[in-house]
Amino acid sequence: MPRINAFLELGRNQGASDIHFAVGRPPMVRVLGAVKPVKYRPLDKSELQGLIDEILTVQQKAHFDAGNDLDIAYADPDVGRFRVNLYHKLTGIGAAFRVIPFKVPTLDELHHPPVLKRLTDYSHGLILVTGATGTGKTTTLAAMIDHINARRRLNIITLEDPVEFLHGSQQSLVVQREIGSHVISFSEGLRAALREDPDVILVGELRDPETIALAMIAAETGHLVLGTLHTTGCVKTIDRIIDVMPTEQKQQAQVFLAQHLRGVISQRLVRTLDGDSRKAVLEILVNTPAIGNLIVNNKVFQIASQLLTGREKGMQQMDQALMEAIRNKELDPNDAYLNADDKKLFQRFVTDPELLPQVTLAGS
């Protein structure tokens, strides 16, 4: 058994989302957003190299030893499955292991709003799940794919870097392809997928204009495309899609989004009231003719008001969702305040005065 498994098992048992390894430091675990060391000595270069080498193939080791970063999935029956990033830094090598749950959670188990299920009923179009790194985008997408897989007879192709959750085919056929192992890039994977009779395509990350353009083509030619962006907020997500496109394609992107964007889910992880876990809080946009008109007419900034008034369609602003969760006693009000966009609305709930802005009195 690889020796690193002992640390991975420890991290999983402590409820960690990530386990970190770096030269000169003991292994570290991230629990509820905070990183803390485990009780172990600092790792030297040779010890950490030995731990990592035990889980790499010959090809992976050669790639990493050549000075390249390496993204892989590591699975072992004793400790489960992890997404791994290996990297080089000033003092030596480092590694980050993201803990992947043993089973794909359902949308109900994640307590996500019912509108996410309705979005998966579309036969074509684009659905985006966005947020900062580590906010659970992959988990939400996996739950949406699982919902489709359990209820519709479709061909689902996923492009992931690396493959995290494993989907067994249920009602649907699920084909999971890994960037670097099965296809060179997301763009090449998308090109190939369009020749493989897909109904649903999951793109793990829309990284560049080429991949975004190919995802648009897939969405407007009769496929349901789900993808992620590292953006915070639904309005910023639409701005990002338009901004990254070449000047001559911006208007085309606007028309596409107006007609074929189905929804945007932007999420943040916020500590729960009991402090024992974190809850994904979602800002949700569901495309409507009114929102489409705003996109085409360069008035994306006005979409925020549509989120505020679109509750009957399943829409909500981030601050609306945070406020509702506070009133339902689901969130730590201090962490909700830190995650809010308009912090003034949440000041009255804060229990830690040090979080609030300090007011200096005149003459003091």
pLDDT at 359: 52
pLDDT at 91: 87
Cβ partners under 8 Å of residue 296, min gap 6: 254, 255, 258
Contact 282, 149 (CB under 8 A): no
pLDDT at 95: 98
pLDDT at 357: 85
For residue 133 the two structure tokens come to 């790194």
- In the chain, beta strands by DSSP E: 18-22, 28-31, 34-37, 70-76, 80-89, 92-100, 125-130, 155-160, 173-178, 200-203, 224-229, 261-271, 278-286
pLDDT at 364: 42
- What is the C-alpha R_g of the chain? 22
- What's the pLDDT tens digit per position in 70-97? 999 999 999 999 999 999 998 899 999 9
Residues of the chain falling short of pLDDT 70:
358-364
pLDDT at 138: 96
Q: Tell me the pairing of strands 125-130 and 28-31.
A: unpaired
- Structural domains in the chain plus CATH codes: 5-100 (3.30.450.90), 115-316 (3.40.50.300)
Letter for the amino acid at 37?
P
- What's the pLDDT tens digit per position in 175-205? 999 998 899 999 999 999 999 999 999 999 9
pLDDT at 358: 65
Q: How many CB atoms lie within 10 A of CB 142?
A: 25
pTM of the model: 0.92
